[in-house]
Structure 1
Amino acid sequence: MVDLGIKDYSTIQWLATGYMLVSGVLIPASAFLMTRFSNRSLFITSMAIFTLGTALAAFAPNFGVLLTGRMVQAAGSSVMGPLLMNIMLVSFPREKRGTVMGIFGLVMITAPAIGPTLSGYIVEYYDWRLLFEMILPLAIISLVLAIWKSENVMEQNKNATIDYLSVVLSTIGFGGLLYGFSSVSSDGWTDKVVLTTLIVGAISLVVFIVRQLKMEEPLLDLRVYKHPMFALASVIAIVNAVAMFSGMILTSAYVQNVRGISPLASGLMMFPGAIVKGIMSPITGKLFDKYGPRILGVLGLTITAVSTYMLANLQIDSSHTYIILVYTLRMLGMAMVMIPIMTNGLNQLPTRLNRHGTAINNTAQQVSGSIGTAILITIMNSVTKTKAESLMTGRFFPSKYQYTLIPIYHHYIYRLASKYSLRYFLTNHQYVTI
C-alpha cells in the first residue's frame, strides 16, 4: 500500500480478489478442458501462462500492471488445482485417497497459510517485487520439467464440444457477483454499478444453473449435488474457504493497524498456525483412511467455531501469546476438516463425474472466498470508520481512558483521518482535546 500509493484496503485487496475472480470465472470450464485436451498439454499451457503473469507482476511499474499480472497468473493457475485432483483420483484407489489428498493439502493449503509470514519479512526488508521474482525461476523449472517428464494418464474425448452460451452465462454470473461484492467495500451497497453487477450476475447465474440441469452434456454438471455426501462436503468447504481467506486478511489488518505490529512480526505471529496446518494435512489424510470423516469433521468444525468466536472478541489489550494460540487453534480445526471432508465427498461420485466434482469444488471455494472476504472487509471498514469518528469526538471511550488510548490509536486514526478528510484536525494537534 505504501510503495504503490494505495490508501485503502478495498483497493489493495484486488490483488487477492482479482486473482480469485479470474479463477472463479475460468475454473467452471476446467471440466470441459480436462475432457477435451490431454493432461500433459493442459498443464504445460497453464504453467506457461502462469509464468508469463509472474514475470509481468515482477516487473510491474505500477498498480495497474501488477493487477494485470496477477490476473494472468490466475488464468494460468485456474485449471491446475482441478487437474491435479483428477490425476490423483485416477491414479489411486479410494482406500488410499485420504493419504494422497493429505499430501495435496500440504502443498496447496499450507502455501497460502505461510504467505503472511514470508511476505511480511519480504515487504519489511526487501522490495515487494521479490514476492514474484522468487517464484519466477520455480515456475520456469516447473514448465521445463513438465515438457520433459509429464505423461498422459487421463482419458480424453477429442470430439467433446463446448456450449458457448454456458461459458458466457458462467462468466457474467460468477464475474458479476465477484465484482459487485468486491466493489462494495469502496463504493457502498447503494452504488448503481455495484447493484447492477450484483443483479445481472445473480440472474445470469440462475439461468446458467437451469441450463446446466437441462443439458445432456453440461459445461458444469450440477447433478453431482444429488449425492448427499458431496453436497455436504461442498457446503463445509465453502464455509471453510470464507473462514480461511478472510481470517488471514482481517487478522493481519488487526495486528498491524490496530495494534501497530510490524508486517514481519505480524507474519511471525501467524506462522505457528501455518506450521500446524502443514503438519496436520498428511496426518488427517491417514486418519481419514483409517477412521473415516465423521470424527475428524465434528471435532474440527467444533474447534474452528470456538476459535473463531475467540478471534472475533479480541480486545485492545489481548496479549500477543493469546492471539497466536487462538489463530493456531483455528488453523488446527480447519486442517482437521478440509481434506477429510473434501475426500469423502469426491469418493461418493462415480468416476465419470470426477472432473465436474473437482471443478465445482474449486469454483465454490474461489467464489465463496472472494465474496466472503469482500463482505467482511466491508464490515471492517464500516465499523472502523464509525469507531474512529466516535473516538475523535470523545463518544467511544469513557473520559478516563481517552488520553491513554491516544498513543495506541494515533497512527491508525491518522491514516483513517486522511481518507475521511480529517487530516487538518489531527495535524494541528487538536486531537489532544479528545
Structure 2
Amino acid sequence: MASLMLAGFVGTFNETALNIALSNFIQVFSISTSIAQWLTTGYLLTLGILIPLSGLLMQWFTTRQLFLTAAIVSLAGAGIGGMAGSFEVLLTGRILQATGTGLLLPLMFNMVFIIFPAHKRGMAMGLVTMIFTAAPAVGPTVSGLLIANLSWHWIFWLSFVLMLIALLVGSLYMQNVSTITKPRIDLFSLAVSTVGFGGIVFGFSHAGEGDAGWNNAMVVWPLIVGGVALILFVFRQLTMERPLMNVKAFKHPMFLVGTLLIFVCMSINISSMLLLPMFLIRVLEMSTLSAAIILLPGGIVMGLSSPLIGRLFDKFGPRFLVIPGLVLAAVALWFFTDITAISTTAFIVTLHVCLMIGIALVWMPAQTNGMNQLPREMHRDGTAIMNSLIQVAGAIGMAVSVSIMTAGGNKYMKAASMATESPITREALAAGIQDALLFVLSVAVAGAIVGLMIKRVKVSR
C-alpha cells in the first residue's frame, strides 16, 4: 500500500502540477493558449478512457503486473517530459503519465477493499483519500516554487524521482492479491466505452477552456456522440452475462448515494480550484505563487484530516460525518458568494479551510460506505465506476463554472454600459466568479439533500 499510495500521490499531483506552468509553455514553445490547454485536456481525456477499463484489466492481469506496468509507463512519461525540447514531445510524456495514473488509481482503491477487513477500511481509505486530495492541492504551490527557483523541467524530474522510489519499493514487496478470471473481451463494449467516456470528458473539458463556448462544434459533437455511446454502453452491460463494467452496482442504494456524493464533492473541489485562484490572481492581483500559497493551508488540512475522519467513520459510520460536512461546505460557499476585491486574505483562507474540511468529511465516508455494500466480486466494478464518474464530474464542474463566470462578467459589463468586447474589468470578473460560486453552492445544497439518505452499511467481511 505504501508503494501504491506514493505512486498515486505522483499521479494526482500531476493532474494540477502543470496548470501554473502553462504561461511558461506558451512562451517557450510559441504556442497558443488553446494548444497549451491540451496538456490538461489530454491528461483528463486519457484518464476518462482508461479508468472505465480498469475493472477488466484487473481480471486479466495480476496486481503486480498492473502496478509495475503503470509505474514504468508513468516513469517513462516523467523522463520524456523532463527532457522535452518541443511541445509534441512534452505532450507525449504527459499522456504517458496519464496512462500510468489511469491504471494506478483504481488499483489503489481496489486494494483497500481486498486486503483490509471492513472494520479497518475507514482508516485505510482515509490514508488513500489523504493522498488523493492533498496531492492536487499542493501541486500548484510546489510547481510554482520549482519554476521560481529552477525551471519547469523539474516538475517532471520530481515526479520521476518519486515514481522511481515507488517502483523500487513495489518491485520488492508488491504481492498478487486479486483473482484472475480472464473474461471474454466484448469489443463493442470496449469501443462504446472509449467513445462514450472519452467524448464526454473531451467535450466538457474543451468547453471549460473558456474560449470554446457551448456552441462550438468541438464541444457539441463530442458531447452528443459521447452521450449516445454511453447509453449504448449501459444497455449493452445490462444484457451481458459478464459485462465490462457491471452497472448493476447501482441497484445497491448506498453505492448509488455514495457515488452521487463523491460526484458532488469532485464538482465542488474542481470548481473551487478553478475559481478561487482566478479571483486571487485577476481580481486581487496577486502573483501566481502567492495565490497558490494562500490556498495551500486548505489542501494540507484536508489531507491531514482524512486519516482522522477514517477512524471516526470506522467508529460512528458515515451519517455522523457526511451531513455536518455538507452543511459546512454549503456555509463556506455561501460566504464565498459575497467575496469582493476588498475581502481579506485571512477571510479567504479561513473559508477555504472550512470548505476543504467539509469535502473531506463527505468524500471518504460516502465512498467507503457505498463500496462496503457491494459484494466482493463487484469491488472492481465499483472502483471503476466511481473513478470514471470523478473524471466526468471534474470536467462538468469546470465547464459549467467557466460558462457561468463568463456570462456573469458579460452581464455586469452590459449593466455598466460597457461594450462586451472591452477587456473585462476586475469588478465584472468578481461578479462573474460570485455567480459561478452560487452555482457551486447549489451543487452543495443538492448534495446535502442526497446526504440525508445515507445509512451505515453493516458488513462482517
Q: Which position in structure 1 is the counterpart of 2:183?
A: 160
Aligned to 2:401: 376
What displacement does 1:306 show?
1.5
Alpha-carbon distance in structure 2 between the residues aligned to 1:10 and 1:181: 14
Contact kept? 1:55, 1:132, Cα under 8 Å: yes
CA contact under 8 A between 1:246 and 1:372: conserved in structure 2?
yes
1:11 to 1:250, Cα distance in 2 relative to 1, 3 A:
farther
Distance in 1 of aligned mates of 2:61 and 2:223: 34
Q: Report what 2:246 is aligned to.
A: 221
7, 15, 30: which one aligns with 2:39: 15
Q: Which residue of 2 aligns with 1:130?
A: 154
Q: Indicate yes or no: 2:29 matched with 1:4.
A: no
Distance of 2:309 and 2:63 partners within structure 1: 28
Q: What's the offset of the Cα at 1:16?
A: 2.9
* 1:172 aligns to 2:162 (yes or no): no
Please report how far the alpha carbon of residue 187 of structure 1 lies from its aligned counterpart in structure 2 after TM superposition: 2.3
CA contact (8 A) 1:121 1:267 kept: no
The answer to whether structure 1 residue 237 and structure 2 residue 262 are counterparts is: yes
Question: What residue in structure 2 maps to residue 283 of structure 1?
Answer: 308
Residues 21, 370 of structure 1: 8 Å contact kept: no
Distance 1:20 1:166 in 2: 21
Q: For residues 54 and 99 of structure 1, what CA distance do their matches in structure 2 show? A: 31
SS of match in other structure, 1:78:
helix
Is the CA contact 1:120–1:265 (under 8 Å) kept in the aligned structure 2? no
Partner of 2:444: none
Q: Does residue 103 in structure 1 map to residue 124 in structure 2? A: no
Distance 2:403 2:42 in 1: 16
114-123 or 243-252, which moves further after superposition? 114-123
**1:92-147: CA deviation from partner (whole Å, max 9, x where unpaired):** 11111101111111222211122232223233343222111111112122222222
Aligned pairs (5 A) from 1:13-412: 13-157=37-181, 159-184=182-207, 185-384=210-409, 387=412, 393=418
What is the identity, as a one-letter code, of the residue corresponding to 1:138?
Answer: L
CA–CA distance in structure 1, aligned partners of residues 57 and 137 of structure 2: 29
Q: Give distance in 1, aligned partners of 2:35 and 2:408.
A: 18
Q: Which amino acid aligns with 2:125?
A: M
- Contact 1:86 / 1:354 at 8 angstroms: preserved in 2? yes
Question: Shift of the alpha carbon at 1:268?
Answer: 1.3
**TM-aligned CA deviation for residue 200 of structure 1:** 0.9
CA distance in 2, matches of 1:64, 1:53: 13
5+ residue gaps in structure 1?
396-404, 413-434
Kindly tell me: are residues 342 and 354 of structure 1, through their superposed partners in 2, closer, same or farther at Cα, counting changes over 3 Å?
Answer: same
Give the whole-Å Cα distance in 2 for the aligned partners of 1:134 and 1:379: 36
Cα distance in structure 2, aligned partners of 1:12 and 1:270: 24
Unpaired stretches in structure 2, ≥5 consecutive residues = 1-21, 431-461
3-state SS, counterpart of residue 342 of structure 2: coil
Give, in whole Å, the separation in 2 of the partners of 1:299 and 1:57: 42
Counterpart CA distance in 1 for 2:137 and 2:206 is 25
Give how far 1:174 is off. Answer: 1.1
What residue identity is the alignment partner of 2:177? V
Q: Distance in 1 between matches of 2:353 and 2:145?
A: 19
CA spacing shift, 1:48–1:55, aligned 2, 3 Å: same
Q: Distance in 1 between matches of 2:26 and 2:406?
A: 19
Deviation at 1:164, TM superposition (A): 1.3
SS across alignment from 1:3? helix
State the distance in 1 between where 2:392 and 2:57 align.
20
User: C-alpha offsets along residues 279-307 of structure 1, whole Å, 9 cap, x if unaligned?
Assistant: 21000000001100001000001111111
Mark the structure with the bigger radius of gyration: 1
Does the 8 Å contact 1:124/1:263 carry over to 2?
no
Separation in structure 2 between the aligned mates of residue 284 and residue 52 of structure 1, nearest angstrom: 35
**Aligned residue number for residue 421 of structure 1:** none
Residue 391 and residue 129 in structure 1: after superposition, are their counterparts in 2 closer, same or farther (change >3 A)?
farther
Residues 1:57 and 1:40: Cα distance change in structure 2 (over 3 Å): same
* Contact 1:36–1:156 (Cα < 8 Å) also in 2: yes
The total of aligned residue pairs comes to: 401
Q: Is the 1:21–1:367 contact (alpha carbons within 8 Å) kept by the matching residues of 2?
A: no
User: Tell me, what secondary structure is at the counterpart of 1:238?
Assistant: helix
Letter in structure 1 aligned against 2:379: N
Amino acid corresponding to residue 324 of structure 1 in structure 2: V
Name the TM-score, length of structure 2 as normaliser.
0.81
Q: Residues 251, 67 of structure 1: CA spacing in aligned structure 2 closer, same or farther, 3 A cutoff?
A: farther
- Counterpart secondary structure, 1:153: coil
AA in 1 matched with 2:175: E
Q: 1:12 to 1:256 in 2, by over 3 A?
A: farther
Contact 1:23-1:75 at 8 Å conserved across structures: yes
Structure 1 182/11 Cα, relative in aligned 2: closer, same or farther at 3 Å? farther
